[in-house]
Amino acid sequence: MNDVPMQAYPATWSRPPQILTHRGWRIVIQLGIVGYLLLAGASIEVDWQRVVVGLERGQRFAMGFLQPDFASRWGDISRGLIESLTMTLTSTVIGVLISVPIGIGAARNLTPRYVYLICRAIIAVSRALQEVIIAIFLVAMFGFGPFAGFLTLSFATIGFLAKLLADDIEEIEPGQADAIRATGASWWQLINYAIQPQVMPRLIGLSLYRLDINFRESAVIGIVGAGGIGGTLNTAIDRYEYDSAGAILLVIIAIVMVAEYASGYIRKFVQ
């Protein structure tokens, strides 16, 4: 110990500003943000009459929601639902099967640079195009129906899963891979013994998550003609049958919740 009295040390401490250290600049920027928000808010034009009309329609929609009618359109609903579920499952399986090699190829620590660049380019294209845009394009190519939806969801799955898998592979513990390399293992053996055990739980978790997303997306792309429950929902709204539309939405919500719960349950087991 030393003999400096306790009172000699400061008793207060406040965290020094980390990004803008100059007090003047801090004030200028904060005032600027507030001013911009006020100006931007003032520039929005609101047509109040339109809002009133819309509220009325919204009310009818909400009423339909409160009295969902499952019975009168049940044939359409169940057909759309089965189509959507088929589309979801097949596209997830195919998407995962294609994503795995692309994901491995897009991991910088495993592949030569040109393979890496090609695989990252595929991922970038798939991620850049939103599902609805791909669906419109594929519906134009293959006609209305679930086949276009299946292709859309498979394509979108690749961008999602391959990217997250590649990022996960790049973050593996390098020591384990070094140890397997040091035994004289080939590249395939390295993948099988050092990479696969490390990324498998995450791959399973991501696939289940993507299954979930694909079901929700299947409802959206149905609206542009790619089949499934989305088409049924669109028809119901077009006919002003808000009670049937409410029933469809409730079914979608129920299925998403079941999928969510089930995937969480499965993920706990694969750690």
Partner 1 sequence: MLQIHQLTKTYATGDTALSDVSLTVPEGQIMGLIGPSGAGKSTLIRCINRLVPPTRGEITLGDVDLAQVGHRELRHQRRRIGMIFQEYSLVERLTVMENVLSGRLGYVPFWRSFTRRFPAADVQRAYQLLDRVGLLDQADKRADALSGGQRQRVGIARALAQEPELLLVDEPTASLDPKTSRQIMRLITEICGERRLPAIVNIHDVPLAQQFMQRIVGLQAGEIVFDGAPADLNEATLTTIYGEEDWNPHRDDDAPEPDDAIATHGKPREAIEEAGR
d(CA 176, CA 51): 61
Smallest separation (angstroms) from partner 1 to the CB of 196:
9
d(CA 118, CA 106): 8
d(CA 49, CA 189): 68
Does 184 help bind partner 1 (rule: CB under 8 A)? Answer: yes
Burial of 22 (0-12, 13-18, 19+ CB in 10 A): exposed
Does 178 help bind partner 1 (rule: CB under 8 A)? Answer: yes
Smallest separation (angstroms) from partner 1 to the CB of 201:
8
Stretch in the footprint of partner 1 (CB under 8 A) among 107-115, 122-130, 173-181, 238-246: 173-181
Per-residue tokens: 65: 């929601």
Among 24, 41, 175, 238, binds partner 1 (CB under 8 A): 175
Among 70, 144, 193, 241, binds partner 1 (CB under 8 A): 193
CB of 202 or CB of 216, closer to partner 1: 202
Query: Residues 200-239: x/- map of binding to partner 1 (CB under 8 A)?
Result: xx--------------------------------------
Say if CB 145 and CB 85 are below 8 A apart.
Answer: no
CB of 156 or CB of 191, closer to partner 1: 191
Stretch in the footprint of partner 1 (CB under 8 A) among 83-91, 98-106, 135-143, 184-192: 184-192
Say if CB 77 and CB 232 are below 8 A apart.
Answer: yes
Q: Spell out the residues 6+ positions from residue 158 whose beta carbon is closer than 8 angstroms to its own.
A: 95, 98, 99, 102, 122, 123, 126
Say if CB 178 and CB 160 are below 8 A apart.
Answer: no
CB of 101 or CB of 143, closer to partner 1: 101
